[in-house]
Structure 1
Amino acid sequence: MRPPPSIPPRFGLDPARMRLPVSQEWATIRDHLVTRVPLPAAQVDAMFDAGRFHDAEGPLPIDAPYVSGGSVWFHRDLPDEAPVPFGIDVACRDDRVLVADKPHFLATIPRGRHVRETALVRLRDEHGLPDLSPAHRLDRVTAGLVLFVIHREDRGTFQNLFRDRRVSKTYEAITRYDPTLPREQVVRSRIVKERGIVTAREVDGEPNAETLVELVDHRDDPLVGPVARYRLTPRTGRTHQLRLHLCSLGIPILGDPFYPDLRDVPLDDLRTPLQLLARTLSWPDPASGEAVTVHSRRTLQAWDDPAGWLAGPAGTSRRCPTR
């Protein structure tokens, strides 16, 4: 159910919808809310006075009678967020999709402590696209291409392209150079991600993750030492798949705060971005069937501007669980 027009998006975010239980326990909606929302009763009353609670007809007065099974919409108070001082480029846009070229350190969608400082909220607000939604996601610390769908009615079409593996993606990564590794290889493993644990891990068993790893170039840089530039083509989409697969080869991605060591890095520490970039996206146009390919214009600093990239990682570390 869409929110009522009387409560428009704020910072590009739709209001939260709260469904009222089927019950006759409360005389007013206010009586129910003070038992349900994690706020002092005085703050709930102040929100009513400010007209922040709405039903389908508009703002609710503080004495609005309880409606069993009804709905209430309101904007939550947003957390304090560390600003991400990097813009989002638009790599491609037509009537149905917008492909964003996301910077490092910007989450794709609101989650936890990241709300306004996310690609979705920024793009909705900057481009006036209230129904914009991502067809897939990119890690906060990874830069590059993310496909967003402009209209609600097209969401399923583009999400199904990803579900059916009809979208091709390539990534670029910078690692330490190991001359003993082959120039091209396919890495397969079984990756599991447990709820409540930030890292994934490889375990024994039938592989569920596969990545083509190709060495593009390497050099001995006077600032960061022997480095290599890899092209990565994932054939599956497991959490942290590329990061784990390069780590398993002994060449973890430069700037990785998770692998092989989990480092506690403050959210506002933007000194050493993960050197991983979603370089290309390709998909068949749903209407014509013609192939569409988009390229990121971003670069990886450890390769193109090593003097501006701090080789020394920030934060303290603790060892991650291994296979």
Structure 2
Amino acid sequence: MSDAYNPPQDPLDVLHLDHQLIVVNKPAGLLSVPGKGEHLADCLIARVQAAFADALLIHRLDRDTSGVMVFALTRHAQRHIGLQFEKRQTKKTYVARVFGLMKEKTGTVDLPLIVDWPNRPLQHVNYETGKQAITDWKVVKYEEIATRVRLFPKTGRSHQLRVHMLAIGHPILGDPFYATVEARDAPRMMLHAEELRLRHPEGGQGQRFRAVCPF
């Protein structure tokens, strides 16, 4: 990751709004929450709160990941949806372009992850101290030197999809932390949170929010 932080200035892309929650399409390159220092103050939660003062954080996406992010507009909604994330009751679908041609059409990565302390914020596979992390994947199509896949994380560890794809030899194209040299040549990190399914905090009805993949 370079030191220069120049987040995109796209207007807020609201996918859904009601009196309990707001769902937005986060652009790649924008922090979900502020970083340390004034130069990292611009972030999605600040932009959402500028338009909706009551907005509350529930979850986050990595800076270089785009896609569906939900914010609560009440404390009840924040608790209700936060608990769904905690209990793994939400369903998340990501689209990624990974380096190389994957041999199998579908598979599961089950590798425990933990922060790599000397190299924070990087994460790594660790069988002794790592926490369970599971990702299902499915090939969408093959490209010349890459594969387009859908990723279905069953757990929500930090950098989970990025480290899991690297671990099976197919790093995500353009990943500033984990991409191998040959996989770095991309206009952005090719990872997008395409769909999020959850239960609405009022009444518990299933909801599906979707943001079209931009790559």
- What TM-score comes out, normalization by structure 2 length? 0.87
Q: 1:174 to 1:157 in 2, by over 3 A?
A: same
| Identity across matched positions, percent | 28
2:106 to 184, 192, 198: 184
CA contact 2:196–2:208 (8 Å) conserved in 1? yes
Show the counterpart of 1:292: 207
Contact 1:81 1:117 in 2 (8 A): no
**Larger-gyration structure (1/2):** 1
Q: Pick the aligned partner of 1:163 from 69, 86, 100.
A: 86
Secondary structure, aligned partner of 2:148 = strand
Q: 1:87 aligns with which of 1, 7, 11?
A: 11
Aligned residue-pair number: 206
Instruction: Identify the match of residue 187 of structure 2 among 272, 283, 294.
Output: 272
Match of 1:143 in 2: 66
Q: Tell me which amino acid in the other structure corresponds to 2:172.
A: I
Q: Quick check: 2:96–2:190 contact (8 Å CA) kept in 1? A: yes
8 A Cα contact 2:26 2:68, kept in partner: yes
Say if 1:83 and 1:277 are closer, same or farther in 2 by CA, change over 3 A. Answer: closer
Partner residue in 2 for 1:259: 178
1:121 to 23, 40, 46: 46
1:54 counterpart residue number: none
SS of the aligned residue for 1:160 comes to helix
In structure 2, do the counterparts of structure 1 residues 156 and 84 end up closer, same or farther at CA, with 3 Å as the change threshold?
Answer: same
Q: Structure 1: which amino acid aligns with 2:200? A: D
Question: Structure 2 CA distance, aligned partners of 1:209 and 1:259?
Answer: 17
Distance 1:174 1:87 in 2: 26
Greater relative contact order, per chain length (Cα 8 Å cut-off, separation 6+): 2
Distance in 2, matches of 1:91 and 1:164, equals: 25
Could you tell me how far apart the structure 1 residues matched to 2:159 and 2:138 are?
A: 18
Q: Could you tell me how far apart the structure 2 residues matched to 1:204 and 1:168 are?
A: 26
Which amino acid in structure 2 is aligned with residue 100 of structure 1? V
Q: Does structure 1 conserve the Cα–Cα contact (< 8 Å) formed by 2:61 and 2:69?
A: yes
- Structure 2 unaligned residues grouped into runs of 5+: none
**3-state SS of 2:16 partner:** strand
Counterpart for residue 282 of structure 1: 197
Q: Distance in 1 between matches of 2:7 and 2:32?
A: 15
Cα shift at 1:116: 4.0
Matches for 1:35-50 after TM superposition, within 5 Å: none
Q: Secondary structure at the match of 1:242?
A: helix
Residue identity in the other structure for 1:239: S
Provide Cα deviations, 1:196-218, integer angstroms capped at 9, x if missing partner: 71210112247600000110111
Q: Secondary structure, in 3 states, of the residue corresponding to 1:229?
A: strand
Structure 1, residues 99-148: CA drift from partner, whole Å, max 9, x if none? 110000101111214554200111111x2x22211211100110001110
Letter in 2 for 1:275: M
1:98 equivalent in structure 2: 22
In structure 1, the residue matched to 2:161 is: 242
Find the residue that maps to 1:244 and give its secondary structure: helix
Contact 2:173 2:190 in 1 (8 A): yes
What residue number does 1:154 align with? 77
Question: Match for 1:231 among 119, 130, 150?
Answer: 150
For residue 177 of structure 1, report the CA deviation from its aligned partner.
Answer: 3.2
Please name the residue that 1:201 is paired with. Answer: 124
The whole-number CA distance in structure 1 between the counterparts of 2:64 and 2:124 is 18
CA distance in 2, matches of 1:84, 1:240: 22
Paired residue secondary structure (2:166): helix
Contact 2:93-2:151 at 8 Å conserved across structures? yes
Displacement of 1:253 in angstroms is 0.4
The residue identity in structure 2 corresponding to 1:120 is I
Question: Superposition RMSD on alpha carbons, in Å?
Answer: 2.3
Normalized against structure 1, the TM-score is what?
A: 0.59
- Structure 1: unaligned runs, 5 residues or longer: 1-79, 221-225, 263-270, 301-323
